[in-house]
């Protein structure tokens, strides 16, 4: 069923965000590279998912911005705990979607337009994936920088500008 | 005689039309949520139990559950009923509504209300 496949895709997305959060060095979590950080990209990805499923379950489409600030979720553990909350909202939302037929129903979103449920879920998945992709890229960049600086400290003579 | 009958008939038809167009259609919440575009801008009547409410200074929002679904009602004149009250609300369906810093998908903007209970 299509609903199950979509649900699985969101579960995988959230699990992947948890894995990134757990793998990042605490010192690099909010370290910025090109104005972005791993932690912020994880939170943005999760916030996209939370906003959609919050809208579907409670008809409140508040942007989770306020409670997903780096100051509020300062550590990997707190991010993982937040992701678990997002996952429970996801579970609640999907339990109310009764089969593939329900994916064709229309949902009013805060912009005032109506979208079919499948359109909304796919858009959410794409947006969440974009931020997740950036998080992965930031992780690679910050790790690379750290390794470079460690290498430079070990071999100061070899470092050329 | 024939003329006055015709006039009475016409008057009854006119009155019926006025009354029918003036009264909001009583509907259930699941119908609104299932097809928000159809109800956009229409005046509806809904009735059910208040499951959530917040507000101050005569304005706020409350959520009604009529057994078929839930919807938020935005109240700007009469304050908000307390949680658990049974209410009948009349108002216009709005899609994409921002009120008191909160974003709603589909809401009913209240024009009138009857409350029973707390």
pLDDT in tens, B41-80: 999 999 999 999 998 888 899 999 999 999 999 999 888 9
Judged by CB atoms closer than 8 Å, whether chains meet at A106 and B103 is answered as: no
For the beta carbon of residue B4, count every other beta carbon within 10 angstroms.
8
Comparing C-alpha atoms, which of A86, A59, A145 is closest to residue B32? A59
Residues of B in contact with A114 (CB under 8 A): 36-37, 95
Q: Is B35 on the interface with A (CB under 8 A)?
A: yes
Phi, psi of B15 (to 5 degrees): -60, -45
- Kindly provide the b/e burial profile for residues B54-66, where b requires at least 16 CB atoms within 10 angstroms of the residue's own CB: ebeeeebbbbbeb
User: How many Cβ atoms sit within 10 Å of the Cβ of residue B81?
Assistant: 25
Nearest CA in chain B to A63: B103
User: Can you give the pTM of this predicted structure?
Assistant: 0.81
Inter-chain CB proximity A112 and B95 less than 8 Å: yes
Contact assignment for A59 to B35 by CB distance below 8 Å: no
CA proximity to B113, closest of B68, B60, B70, B67: B60
A60 lies within 8 A of chain B by CB: yes
Contact A108 B37 (CB under 8 A): yes
Higher local confidence (pLDDT), B65 or A67: B65
Task: Quickly tell me which residue has 């600086």 as its tokens.
Answer: A149
> How open is the CA angle A147-A151-A156, to the nearest 5 degrees?
150
Q: How far is CA A10 from CA A64, A109, B28, B110, in A?
A: 18, 20, 31, 36
Residues of A with Cβ-Cβ distance to B71 under 8 angstroms: 59
Specify the pLDDT at position B115.
86
């Amino acid at each position: 069923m299509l609903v199950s496949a979509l649900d699985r895709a969101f579960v995988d997305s959230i699990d992947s965000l948890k894995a990134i959060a757990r793998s990042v060095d605490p010192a690099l979590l909010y370290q910025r590279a090109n104005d972005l950080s791993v932690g912020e990209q994880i939170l943005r990805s999760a916030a996209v998912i939370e906003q959609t499923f919050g809208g579907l379950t409670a008809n409140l489409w508040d942007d989770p911005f306020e409670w997903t600030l780096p100051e509020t979720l300062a550590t990997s553990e707190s991010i993982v705990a937040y992701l678990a909350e997002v996952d429970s909202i996801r579970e609640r939302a999907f339990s109310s979607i009764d089969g593939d037929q329900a994916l064709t129903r229309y949902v009013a979103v805060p912009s005032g337009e109506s979208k079919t449920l499948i359109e909304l879920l796919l858009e959410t998945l794409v947006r969440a994936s974009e931020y997740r992709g950036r998080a992965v890229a930031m992780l690679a960049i910050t790790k690379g920088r750290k390794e470079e600086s460690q290498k430079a400290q070990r071999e100061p003579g070899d470092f050329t500008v | 005689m024939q003329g006055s009958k015709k006039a009475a008939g016409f008057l009854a038809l006119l009155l019926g039309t006025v009354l029918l167009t003036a009264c909001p259609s009583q509907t259930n919440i699941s119908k609104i949520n299932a097809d928000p575009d159809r109800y956009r801008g229409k005046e509806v009547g809904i009735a059910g139990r208040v499951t959530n409410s917040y507000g101050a200074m005569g304005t706020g929002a409350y959520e009604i559950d009529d057994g078929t679904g839930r919807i938020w009602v935005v109240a700007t004149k009469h304050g908000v009923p307390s949680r658990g009250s049974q209410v009948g609300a009349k108002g216009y369906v709005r899609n994409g509504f921002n009120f008191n810093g909160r974003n709603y998908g589909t809401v009913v903007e209240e024009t009138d209300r009857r409350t029973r209970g707390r």
